[in-house]
């Protein structure tokens, strides 16, 4: 048997982004011996890339803001499909989480009177995003890392060992969540990316904080780490994923040159005054304000422009509609032949702000375009188009505790968890989500670990099976007895990305999704024969072969759920079912592993009904607005 060293911990946190680090800090502070494990270097998680800011209703720039308004905006943005209790907790607790970051050393941009500055973003009624230029994620991670180091120093003073209670395993990948014979979590199976060495972290509680799935799509703003690992780990451990059809296509990714296609152009560009134009120079977003938002957005350019100076007496410009609306509008303009030379539209700040202000407020954007596209955004417009950005669907969790449904000892927080954002996330609501639910996951995981469940033993058979699975690519092409030439994991990945991009992308059609499912089934069979050469020492082809299992699983979830939901809502747009149907508002789609593998696919779908929204929260909306979203019987109730 392949040997795997074992270590004992109370809580294992998989992922060292914002959610994982916040969870680890909380678990350690609650007394749990906590291990954090991440694929990349400590401090290099995807969160580092976050640009615009953290949404929290501190009311520093407009005193009208409060948690109720934030809750309302979040529910509207998610088209009322949000797990409302999560949206409530998020809106209530986000300000404390931002303040806390400041006490741990975060340096936010300030207002003139010295408070944490907050900026406008799409779908937020008031300026709400606490930020550090357009490098907010970097500051967030830096601060959480610093806090972790300070806790390790405390532990060293007490025990002589920095890693006695909090240890980071960097550049290591988890391939399985392990369970005991009674179905309780008992640890994780992992490998070191550099050496290929296997090891097991034994623990009664595991927090998944692995981020998103964007690398299943060809054009994406996401980093290499986003291969849907946590989603797949949860599925394989028996937990359902909820509403995987909702994938956010950010309206503004770079479209040119091809090597950087998909890289994000932050929404702060529009929040700070940037406007979208088509090839005829028209600010086309005024033609795309949907009925549900009509009363809340400016009807003329003049009114929209006045709003930046006088938001109390004017309505916001439609460039700041929620992302799903803007992405669809850009798609329509390009399709109608009014796009930019490279298949996007124009995003212009150069005529809206002095060059100096652009360089100060949007330093990363300035450099990104200058260096990658040779475009000076202080002098000319950017070309932008939709890019796969975020997954709203994820592990189904209990709202208060972040516990994964149906698997004792498993927790999930951050982008890997579903429910919070409904059918569409508002910008800035992810960083706040990471902090609010990262803390909660750490808290409840630590409580669970010290509770009556005790410390379930790790069955040897599971470790052996996980090791065999991880080694299979080295006998590629023969694993399923097929023989023949091994499949190249890079080719399979490219075909998967192209399939998801073309057939389950921003605008969806029934026949295309059926085709996608057929192609995914073929790819799944071929992926079993994915083979790699060489050995386990740093072997990126092997890593990709292992990641393919995860991408294929989550892609099938996305395609299956998207085919099932016969309406358009938020991040899910169907050309053949263009309306948002009130009857679908109460329906969640759960994906589970289907049992024995069949030609039908590996995912089974189940419909569940959401809990009615609590009456005091419903009372925050006008009845006229609720009528647009809620089904007849809900209104009656
Ligand atoms: P991540 O930060 O991605 O961390 C995931 C961690 O899991 C990593 O450490 C990774 O190594 C680890 N991991 C993954 N799989 C495994 C495995 N199998 N084994 C071990 N470790 C694993 N949101 C906002 O709210 N505001 C913004 O301004 C904003 N700007 C953005 C800009 C860009 C360019 C992008 C792409 C996103 C932006 N977002 C923003 C979204 C936000 O950054 C992400 O949703 C968020 O950072 C996700 O954090 P996380 O903690 O869930 O995951």
Nearest-5° Cα angle at 470, 466 to 476: 135
Residue 500 · residue 534 · CB < 8 Å: no
State the pairing for strand pair 382-391/247-254: antiparallel
Task: Round to whole Å and give the CA distance between 618 and 633.
Answer: 14
- Domain boundaries 250-386, corresponding CATH code: 3.90.700.10
Question: In the beta sheet, which residues pair with residue 390?
Answer: 248
Q: How far is CA 379 from CA 350, 353, 374, 593, in A?
A: 5, 10, 12, 52
Question: Across residues 65-93, what is the average pLDDT?
Answer: 97
Ligand 1, residues at Cβ distance < 6 Å: 14-20, 37-40, 45-47, 49-53, 136-137, 173-174, 209-211, 221-222, 225, 229-230, 264, 390, 414-416, 427-431, 434
Residue 304 · residue 298 · CB < 8 Å: yes
Question: In the beta sheet, which residues pair with residue 247?
Answer: 391
Question: Tokens representing 314?
Answer: 């004017």
Residues 469-480: tens digit of each pLDDT: 999 999 875 545
Helix axes 18-29, 429-449, angle to 10 degrees: 30
Task: Round to whole Å and give the CA distance between 339 and 189.
Answer: 48
Task: Please determine, for residue 637, whether its predicted confidence score (pLDDT) is greater than 90.
Answer: no
Residue 509 pLDDT class (50, 70, 90 cuts): very high
% of the chain surpassing 70 pLDDT: 98
Task: Round to whole Å and give the CA distance between 511 and 159.
Answer: 62
For ligand 1, atom 6: residue with the closest CA? 15
Distance 398 CA to ligand 1 centre (A): 21
Q: Residue 282, exposed/middle/buried by CB under 10 A (0-12, 13-18, 19+)?
A: middle
Residue in 277, 282, 450 with CA at minimum distance from that of residue 349: 277
Sign for the CA dihedral angle at 538, 539, 543, 546 comes to negative
Strands, sheet with 34-37, edge to edge from the N-terminal-most edge strand? 166-169, 34-37, 11-14, 205-208, 410-412
Task: Please determine, for residue 1, whether its predicted confidence score (pLDDT) is greater than 60.
Answer: no
Question: Tokens representing 91?
Answer: 């809106």
Residue with tokens 């451990």: 237
Sequence-ordered list of residues with C-beta below 8 angstroms from that of 301, at least 6 positions apart, any chain:
283, 286, 317
Q: Residue 525, exposed/middle/buried by CB under 10 A (0-12, 13-18, 19+)?
A: middle
What is the ipTM score, two decimals? 0.99
To test the pocket of ligand 1, the residue of 237, 429, 431, 548 to mutate (highest count of ligand atoms within 8 Å of its CB) is 431
Using the CB atoms, write b or e for 568-594: b if 16+ within 10 Å. bbbbbbbeebeebebebbbbbbbbbbe
To test the pocket of ligand 1, the residue of 122, 123, 137 to mutate (highest count of ligand atoms within 8 Å of its CB) is 137
Question: Tokens representing 501?
Answer: 């991009």
Where exactly does CATH 1.20.58.100 map onto the chain?
479-609
Residue in 362, 337, 371 with CA at minimum distance from that of residue 347: 362
Which atom, in ligand 1's list, is nearest to the CA of 131? 28
Report the predicted TM-score, pTM, of the whole model to 2 decimal places: 0.93
Distance 44 CA to ligand 1 centre (A): 10
Task: Round to whole Å and give the CA distance between 492 and 551.
Answer: 11
DSSP code of 426?
A: P
Q: Which fold has domain 479-609?
A: Methane Monooxygenase Hydroxylase; Chain G, domain 1 (1.20.58)
Distance 42 CA to ligand 1 centre (A): 13
pLDDT of residue 411: 98
Where exactly does CATH 3.90.700.10 map onto the chain?
250-386
Q: Where are the alpha helices (DSSP H) in 291-354?
A: 301-309, 323-335
Q: In the Cβ-directed half-sphere of 308, how many Cα atoms lie within 13 Å?
A: 16
pLDDT of residue 256: 87
Residues 535-582: tens digit of each pLDDT: 999 999 999 999 999 999 999 999 999 999 999 999 999 999 999 999
% of the chain surpassing 90 pLDDT: 85
Sequence-ordered list of residues with C-beta below 8 angstroms from that of 281, at least 6 positions apart, any chain:
none
DSSP code of 222?
A: -
Question: Tokens representing 431?
Answer: 């960083």
Q: Tell me the catalytic residues.
A: 323
Distance 251 CA to ligand 1 centre (A): 19
Question: In the beta sheet, which residues pair with residue 206?
Answer: 12, 410
pLDDT of residue 481: 43
Question: Across residues 147-174, what is the average pLDDT?
Answer: 98
DSSP code of 98?
A: H
Sequence-ordered list of residues with C-beta below 8 angstroms from that of 376, at least 6 positions apart, any chain:
369, 370
Residues 190-211: tens digit of each pLDDT: 999 999 999 999 999 999 999 9
φ, ψ of residue 17 in degrees (nearest 5): -85, -160
For ligand 1, atom 53: residue with the closest CA? 211
Which atom, in ligand 1's list, is nearest to the CA of 264? 34
Distance 71 CA to ligand 1 centre (A): 23
Task: Round to whole Å and give the CA distance between 429 and 334.
Answer: 29
Which atom, in ligand 1's list, is nearest to the CA of 233? 18
Which atom, in ligand 1's list, is nearest to the CA of 214? 36
Which atom, in ligand 1's list, is nearest to the CA of 39? 11
3-class SS of residue 442: helix
Distance 222 CA to ligand 1 centre (A): 8
Residues 400-440: tens digit of each pLDDT: 999 999 999 999 999 999 999 999 999 999 999 999 999 99
State the pairing for strand pair 34-37/166-169: parallel
Residue 2 pLDDT class (50, 70, 90 cuts): low
Distance 47 CA to ligand 1 centre (A): 4
3-class SS of residue 455: coil
Other residues' Cβ atoms within 10 Å of the Cβ of residue 25: 24
Residues 278-313: tens digit of each pLDDT: 999 999 999 999 988 898 899 999 999 999 889 889
């Amino acid at each position: 048997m392949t040997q795997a060293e074992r270590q004992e911990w109370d809580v294992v946190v998989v992922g060292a982004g914002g959610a994982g680090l916040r969870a680890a800090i909380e678990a350690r502070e609650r007394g749990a011996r906590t291990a954090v494990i991440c694929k990349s270097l400590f401090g290099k998680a995807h969160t580092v890339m976050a640009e615009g800011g953290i949404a929290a209703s501190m009311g520093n720039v407009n005193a009208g803001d409060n948690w109720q308004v934030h809750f309302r905006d979040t529910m509207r943005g998610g088209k009322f499909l949000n797990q409302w209790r999560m949206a409530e907790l998020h809106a209530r607790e986000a300000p404390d989480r931002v303040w806390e970051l400041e006490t741990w050393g975060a340096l936010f941009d300030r207002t003139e009177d010295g408070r944490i500055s907050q900026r406008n973003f799409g779908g937020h009624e008031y300026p709400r995003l606490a930020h550090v230029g357009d490098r907010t994620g970097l500051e967030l991670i830096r601060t959480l890392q610093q806090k972790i180091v300070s806790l390790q120093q405390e532990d060293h003073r007490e025990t002589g060992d920095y890693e006695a209670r909090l240890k980071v395993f960097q550049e290591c990948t988890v391939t399985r969540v392990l369970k005991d014979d009674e179905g309780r979590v008992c640890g994780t199976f992992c490998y070191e990316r550099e050496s290929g060495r296997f090891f097991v972290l034994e623990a009664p509680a595991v927090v998944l904080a692995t981020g998103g799935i964007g690398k299943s799509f060809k054009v994406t703003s996401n980093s290499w780490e986003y291969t849907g690992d946590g989603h797949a780990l949860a599925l394989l451990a028996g937990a359902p994923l909820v509403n995987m059809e909702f994938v956010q296509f950010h309206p503004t990714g770079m479209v040119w040159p091809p090597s950087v296609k998909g890289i994000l152009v932050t929404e702060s560009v529009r929040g700070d005054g940037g406007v979208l134009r088509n090839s005829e120079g028209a600010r086309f977003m005024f033609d795309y304000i949907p009925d549900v938002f009509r009363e809340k957005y400016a009807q003329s350019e003049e009114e929209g422009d006045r709003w930046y100076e006088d938001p109390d007496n004017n309505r916001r410009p439609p460039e700041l509609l929620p992302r799903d609306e803007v992405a669809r509008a850009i798609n329509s303009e390009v399709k109608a032949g009014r796009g930019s030379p490279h298949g996007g539209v124009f995003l212009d700040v150069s005529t809206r702000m002095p060059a100096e202000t652009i360089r100060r407020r949007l330093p990363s954007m300035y450099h990104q375009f200058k260096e990658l596209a040779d475009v000076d955004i202080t002098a000319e417009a950017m070309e932008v188009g939709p890019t796969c950005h975020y997954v709203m669907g994820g592990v189904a969790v209990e709202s208060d505790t972040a516990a994964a449904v149906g698997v004792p000892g498993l927790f999930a927080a951050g982008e890997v968890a579903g429910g919070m954002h409904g059918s569409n996330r508002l910008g800035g609501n992810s960083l706040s989500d990471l902090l609010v639910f990262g803390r909660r996951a750490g808290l409840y995981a630590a409580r669970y670990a010290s509770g009556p469940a005790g410390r379930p033993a790790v069955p040897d058979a599971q470790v052996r099976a996980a090791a065999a699975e991880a080694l299979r690519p080295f006998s590629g092409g023969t694993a399923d007895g097929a023989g023949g030439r091994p499949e190249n994991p890079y080719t399979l990945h490219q075909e998967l990305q192209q399939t998801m991009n073309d057939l389950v992308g921003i605008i969806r059609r029934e026949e295309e999704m059926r085709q996608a499912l057929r192609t995914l089934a073929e790819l799944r069979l071929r992926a079993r024969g994915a083979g790699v050469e060489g050995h386990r020492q740093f072997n990126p082809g092997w890593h990709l072969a292992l990641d393919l299992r995860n991408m294929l699983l989550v892609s099938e979830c996305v395609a299956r759920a998207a085919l099932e939901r016969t309406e358009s809502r938020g991040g899910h747009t169907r050309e053949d079912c263009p309306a948002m149907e009130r009857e679908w508002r109460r329906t969640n789609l759960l994906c589970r592993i289907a049992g024995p593998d069949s030609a039908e696919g590996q995912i089974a779908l189940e419909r569940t009904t959401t809990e009615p929204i609590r009456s005091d929260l419903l009372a925050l909306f006008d009845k006229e607005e609720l009528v647009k979203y809620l089904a007849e019987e809900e209104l009656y109730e």
